[in-house]
Structure 1
Amino acid sequence: MRASSNLNSQILGILDKVNHLNHLKQLQAYLITSGHSQDQFFSFKLVRCCVLSLSNFDYARQIFSSLVSPNVYLYTAMITAYSFQPDHDSSLLLYRDMVRKKRPKVSHFIYPHVLKSCPEVLGSNGTKMLHTQILRTGYVLCSLSAFGHMGMLQLGKSTHGYVLRNGLAPNSLIANGLVDMYGKCGSLKEARRVFDDTLKRNLTSWNSMINSFALHGQSESAIMVYEEMMQHNVKPDAVTFVGLLNACTHGGLVEKGRSFFTSMVNDNGIEPDIHHIGCFIDLLGRAGQFAEAMEVIKAMKTPPDEAVWGSLLNGCKIHGRMDLAEIAVKKLIEIDPNNGGYGTMLANIYGALGEWEKARMVWITLKEQKAYKIPGCSWIEIDNQVHQFYSADDSHFKIEDMHSILESIFSFADENIFHHHLLPHT
């Protein structure tokens, strides 16, 4: 059950004035009777009030222990409180509990407080061992994230080798990082192999695999992973549904996407955020379902952002809906008036509609505002070197060779493909 924004503000107002444990207990009793005993946000606020305002660590631990599945913020709050008390034994025991149970994803904010408790409990050798483990894990995770974003597959594979040589493979954080890296680099077989070899999968493991397939248009594979996840009784979260909606968009699976969007709200109690709505609008726009897309946009509780209007615009261009495209581009210009790309789109739309005077006025405005257009960019990795390319940019040192190869391909296609199929046989 989710608290209303009105209840939210009332409780926060009361918490600011709490100066006695009995007052806090009354507030907690109210939350329990109103069905909010497991609310992570309110529980965090109660724990924080216990520690900072009342200095009552025992009752803070009682609140924490009453939660079925505390999130990372609650673990961080309790571990931090113990390290400052100081109660180093409790701090390390709680950290061990967090790691063993694979509850939430470990936050880097926890590490300084855990290390603070180590010398008192584990001695210098134990502290060094934990510090080394943290550094190794952090190094590997940062490297995998960077290599994934840059598409540097060979360096990602080298990092994977480092993981295997140093016995870090059983770490689920690193396994998830490997799946994500291989997925972003397009090596889906390797991503799936790491995923299958991960003995203790958590929600992030499943989400990484779903999003990897979705990113590369393998819609059915992404949905199959989700169905497998359901068989393992793993509860999906907001990230899961972003991946599923993306998968449906790339596969043109409108009914399936609509079903996931509805299930997310009705069956899982997840409020759609801007990412879900952007994906859903993209799905509907590509399918030409503009009436439904506009209804979804009108029903949004927050103002649509660039992703939402951009998704609608993409569908409009596919299906030639210049009337809606004009609306979408005007909204995009309102959001980012200095982006010359949006102005160029609007001028082109007016040109397609034959409204040349409006197109001329847009070009004049762009010139006066000195609006910029972000150039398109792509990159590839060859022999461990990343080559970056920008739209309309001929500065690459191999540009002449590339043009020569392209001309050869076009010439071959013209002589052997187009010529063969277009000319009548005699």
Structure 2
Amino acid sequence: MYGLSQLKMNQHFLTILEKCINLSHLKQLQSFIISQGHSHTQFYIFKLVRFCTLKIFNFYYARLLFDHLPSPNIYLYTAMITAYASNPNHHTSAFVLYRHMLRKGKPAPNNFIFPHVLKSAPEVLESNGTKLVHTQILKSGFGQYPVVQTALVDSYSRTGSCIGIARDVFDEMSERNLVSWTAMVSGYMRVGDVGKAVSLFEQMPNRDVPSWNAVIAGCTQNGFFSEAISVLRKMVMVGTGEGNRPNQVTVVCSLSACGNTGMFQLGKSIHGYVYRNGIDNDCFIANALIDMYGKCGSLDTARRIFEMSSKKNLTSWNSIINCFALHGQSENAISLFEEMINCGFEDIRPDAVTFISLLNACTHGGLVEKGRAYFELMTSSYNIEPRIDHYGCLIDLLGRAGKFEEAMEVINCMKMKPDEVVWGSLLNGCKIYGRLDLAEFAVKKLIEIDPNNGGYGSMLANLYGALGKWDEVRKFRKKLKEQSAYKTPGCSWIEVDGKVHQFYSVDKMHPRTDEIYGILESMVAFS
């Protein structure tokens, strides 16, 4: 009889829980189970904790429920640590709770809890965190569980110095599944080793959509945009036959690659694919489309997609502002910024990225006073600490306006060491206004940062020639020949019939080089 009434109680509890939509409802349900003598029944507390973390995202109240129990079981610890680990703001809490569980001595961790702890470990103690958990895993006897080994691969690969350990764990796995292969590929991409990532991807016995996405996203994030497009084409040709159709993640990453390479036609084709295949056109895809069309110069289309988007978030506003800033439409960019801050949504508040686009817009429009005002607004009204990118934009703005004294004052007051962007921006202004003395100073700073960059050395030699310092020119050119200096070649590309052709300065590697040069020579002859 008791078992039957308990079963009815459980069903009644779960039915009411499904209808709860806020904390007030949950507290009423909690009061009910307390009145029935179940204040410490772990099954009910587990369900309440899960509701708090998954439905209403109230981690504080979930922890109050958890701490109320004298001896939470492993399922409650797993629920609480999983919730913490899934939120970037609570990684430390996940690791601290795991440590507390170990110190209490019970319950003992199982193979389900370790993957979530490993997700937080590198965020709290970097590589040492993963190593500490790895030691506990081996002591607990879970070292050969595939799900734990995969989590170790992912955790070690999140700190660049441990990518070798991640590969060792991967190689020692007796059973590798798609998740473990993808974790290792993603690890290589995360540390920028695109070559090894692609090589490992080619060795995969089977592939699914996440594994294709890992390579496309990794290539895009590391600046290998043409390679990302090539992998996309291969996925469409090969992967679709295996049931691996591009999804939202594929679309977003591919659109980013199209925008950065100027592949407008392919970007439009991907846009069409979204509509034809009924892919949910959420804010991520809408933002990617705005970015792609904007970077490819189709500002009207970018603006139309932005206006049609029903859920505009901060990224949406940043994307459209950046589009107009990139193409020199300063007034439109500034107008959009003003519209954003007056839209009335509390969750849409300018961030560091917004002000980089805004300062770029002021630079392209020569709006010095507005640029200064926005830089001041960023720090005083929005409490955003200027980053090196903001200083680079401000120096570029002042340099293009010939305000070198102010530019040097900004540089001297920076809280971080000026980088190549800052000195390069100053040098650009010096070239415009013929400030050879200050240009010489800027180039010397660039050489200090990267002494083997032959491009900087050539600049300085040319400046010495312009100043009539011919002895210095000879000395410096001799020095350049003696050292192993490099000079990054200029690069351009063009899309023809859906294929991107790249060209580098003095490069004759293109298969149609003879034909290209022949046409160029005929054009010169008739000019």
Please tell me the TM-score bracket, short chain as reference: 0.5 to 0.7
Post-superposition offset of 1:182: 1.1
Instruction: Map residues 35-50 of structure 1 onto 2, 5 A cutoff.
Output: 44=90, 47-50=93-96
Q: Do residues 268 (structure 1) and 268 (structure 2) align?
A: no
Report Cα offsets for 1:216-244 as digits up to 9, x if no partner. 11111111111111121321000000000
Judge conservation of contact 1:183–1:209 (CA < 8 Å) in 2: yes
**Structure of larger gyration radius:** 2
Report Cα offsets for 1:151-202 as digits up to 9, x if no partner. 1111100000011122335310011111111112111111111111111010
Q: State how far apart, in whole Å, the 2-side matches of 1:252 and 1:133 are.
A: 49
With normalisation by structure 2, the TM-score equals 0.54
| Gapped regions of structure 1 (runs ≥ 5) | 1-20, 22-40, 57-75, 81-111, 113-127, 412-426
Q: Does the C-alpha gap of structure 1 residues 169 and 227 become closer, same or farther in structure 2, counting only changes over 3 Å?
A: farther
Report Cα offsets for 1:325-370 as digits up to 9, x if no partner. 1111111111111110000000011110001111111101100003
Q: Do residues 153 (structure 1) and 264 (structure 2) align?
A: yes
Indicate which of 365, 369, 372 corresponds to 1:255: 369
Q: State how far apart, in whole Å, the 2-side matches of 1:199 and 1:133 are.
A: 29
Instruction: Judge which range, 394-403 or 379-388, deviates more.
Output: 394-403
Post-superposition offset of 1:142: 1.6
Indicate which of 383, 393, 399 corresponds to 2:517: 399
Indicate which of 51, 59, 79 corresponds to 2:97: 51
Post-superposition offset of 1:279: 0.8
Aligned length: 302
Post-superposition offset of 1:393: 4.2
Judge conservation of contact 2:379–2:386 (CA < 8 Å) in 1: yes
3-state SS of paired residue (1:373):
coil
Q: State how far apart, in whole Å, the 2-side matches of 1:313 and 1:213 are.
A: 25
Given residue 221 of structure 1, which amino acid in structure 2 is its aligned partner? N
Indicate which of 163, 166, 178 corresponds to 2:289: 178
Q: Does the C-alpha gap of structure 1 residues 342 and 266 become closer, same or farther in structure 2, counting only changes over 3 Å?
A: same
Report Cα offsets for 1:86-105 as digits up to 9, x if no partner. xxxxxxxxxxxxxxxxxxxx
Given residue 274 of structure 1, which amino acid in structure 2 is its aligned partner? I
Q: Do residues 196 (structure 1) and 304 (structure 2) align?
A: no
Q: Does the C-alpha gap of structure 1 residues 207 and 157 become closer, same or farther in structure 2, counting only changes over 3 Å?
A: same
Q: Does the C-alpha gap of structure 1 residues 341 and 175 become closer, same or farther in structure 2, counting only changes over 3 Å?
A: same
Report Cα offsets for 1:269-302 as digits up to 9, x if no partner. 0000011111111111011111111111111111
Report Cα offsets for 1:5-43 as digits up to 9, x if no partner. xxxxxxxxxxxxxxxx9xxxxxxxxxxxxxxxxxxx995
Report Cα offsets for 1:121-152 as digits up to 9, x if no partner. xxxxxxx9xx9999611111121111111111
3-state SS of paired residue (1:379):
strand
Indicate which of 446, 457, 464 corresponds to 1:350: 464
Q: State how far apart, in whole Å, the 2-side matches of 1:403 and 1:268 are.
A: 57
3-state SS of paired residue (1:53):
helix
The percentage of counterpart residues that share the same residue type is 60
Q: Does the C-alpha gap of structure 1 residues 42 and 297 become closer, same or farther in structure 2, counting only changes over 3 Å?
A: farther
Q: State how far apart, in whole Å, the 1-side matches of 2:380 and 2:308 are.
A: 34
Q: State how far apart, in whole Å, the 2-side matches of 1:223 and 1:384 are.
A: 35
Judge conservation of contact 1:168–1:174 (CA < 8 Å) in 2: no
1:67 maps to which residue?
Answer: none
Post-superposition offset of 1:402: 3.3
Instruction: Map residues 104-115 of structure 1 onto 2, 5 A cutoff.
Output: none
Given residue 374 of structure 1, which amino acid in structure 2 is its aligned partner? T
Q: State how far apart, in whole Å, the 1-side matches of 2:441 and 2:368 are.
A: 24
Q: State how far apart, in whole Å, the 1-side matches of 2:501 and 2:524 are.
A: 17
1:323 maps to which residue?
Answer: 437
Q: State how far apart, in whole Å, the 1-side matches of 2:352 and 2:524 are.
A: 44
Q: State how far apart, in whole Å, the 1-side matches of 2:280 and 2:88 are.
A: 37
Instruction: Judge which range, 393-402 or 175-184, deviates more.
Output: 393-402
2:116 maps to which residue?
Answer: none
| Gapped regions of structure 2 (runs ≥ 5) | 1-66, 68-86, 103-118, 124-178, 180-208, 214-242
Post-superposition offset of 1:50: 4.2
Judge conservation of contact 1:169–1:175 (CA < 8 Å) in 2: no
- State the structure with bigger RCO (CA 8 A, min sep 6), 1 or 2: 1
> Cα RMSD (Å) of the superposition?
2.8
Q: Do residues 370 (structure 1) and 416 (structure 2) align?
A: no
Judge conservation of contact 2:465–2:473 (CA < 8 Å) in 1: yes
Judge conservation of contact 1:179–1:195 (CA < 8 Å) in 2: yes
Judge conservation of contact 1:170–1:198 (CA < 8 Å) in 2: no
Q: Does the C-alpha gap of structure 1 residues 167 and 273 become closer, same or farther in structure 2, counting only changes over 3 Å?
A: same
Post-superposition offset of 1:407: 5.2
With normalisation by structure 1, the TM-score equals 0.66
Instruction: Judge which range, 167-176 or 259-268, deviates more.
Output: 167-176
